[in-house]
Amino acid sequence: MSEDIEKLYKDMAQSIIDGDSDISVELAQKAIAINMPPLDAITKGFVVGVNYIGDQFGLGEAFLPELVMAGEAMKAAVATLEPELLKLGEARETMGRVVLATVEGDIHEIGKTLVGTMLSASGFEVTDLGVDQPAEKIIGKALEINASIIGLSALLTTTMVRQRELIEELDKENLRPRIKVMVGGAPITRDWATKIKADGTSEDAVGAVKLAKELVGKA
């Protein structure tokens, strides 16, 4: 392998560590221009940076903004490479697909957004539907993209009941255990998750990643 390619991989990793989407996109375009296999660019370049930041975060040396910015830079690079992957009929190996949403009637989302970022950074393919989402829309999206996990957020005691309704709906349609359900939000306790027969809950984004990995059998 030439030194130039070595250097390109290093720069790719560094662009993620720096959380610089402009540079990560530029490097992804460069990879396409020199006919670098897009999967190589991802696994030997960009992912190295994501893993580094993840490790630093685990050690308490990096903090949430760095993680989020690394996640954004990664997303931008992958989006640039995606058309090439499709052309080659290749798919990036992911930990699994996750649909995230805040339940109907609730507009709180910072926690859910954090979970989404952390899951993306950890190799999950995340579709975040946003806030105030009815159950049928969330389930519809999960089926459409063949998701393994639905993550449901609620901040209010008055809206957290929607989590139960969605789980009941999945059960009615016999979609479980094919689709696992993680619930979260400030009022959500372990007891609540058990009571509504969710597959798990976590109070923070780090725990959510751990849980998601367990749910897809890749812990």
Partner 1 sequence: MSHKKIKTISDPKIKLEVLTKEEIIKIHEATLNIIENVGIRFPSKRALEIWEAVGADVNHDKKIVKVKPYLIEDALKQCPPKYVLAARDPQQDLPLDGNHVCLGTDGCGVEVIDINTGEKRTTELQDVRDISRVADATEEVAFHWVPVSAQDTPAEARGLHELKAVWENSTKHVQTESIYNVEEAKASMEMLEILAGGKDKLRERPMLSLMQCTAPPLGHDGGSLDAALIAAEYGVPTGFMTMSSCLTTGPATMAGTLAVGNAEVVAATALLQLAYPGAPVFYAAALTATDPRSGAYTGGGPEDFLFGAAVNALSDFYNIPLSMGSFATGAKEPNWQAGLEGGLSTFMASVVMSDMLLGCGFLHGSRIWSYAEMMMDCEIFSIIHKMMQGIVVDEETLAMDSIASVGPGGHFLAQKHTRNHTRDLFMPQFLDRRPYTLWEDKKDDARDWATAKAKKILKEHQPDPLDEKISKEFERIIKSVEKK
Binding stretches for partner 1 (CB under 8 A): 19, 63-66, 68-69, 72, 110, 113-114, 117, 189-190, 202-204, 207
180: Cβ contacts below 8 Å, ≥ 6 apart: 148, 149, 150, 199, 200, 215, 216
Neighbours of 88 (CB within 10 A): 11
- Burial group, residue 2, by CB count within 10 angstroms (0-12, 13-18, 19+): exposed
Q: How far apart are CA 177 and CA 95, in angstroms?
A: 17
Using CA atoms, how far apart are residues 168 and 164, in angstroms rounded to an integer?
6
Of residues 114 and 138, the one with the C-beta less far from partner 1 = 114
CB of 149 to partner 1, least distance (A): 19
Asked if 19 and 69 touch (Cβ cutoff 8 Å), the reply is yes
Comparing CB distances to partner 1, the nearer of 70 and 138 is: 70
Considering beta carbons, is residue 31 or 120 the nearer one to partner 1?
120
The CB-of-141 to partner 1 minimum distance in angstroms stands at 21
Report, in Å, the least distance between residue 12 CB and partner 1: 19
Query: Nearer to partner 1 by C-beta: 17 or 135?
Result: 17
Nearest-approach distance from CB 203 to partner 1, in angstroms: 3
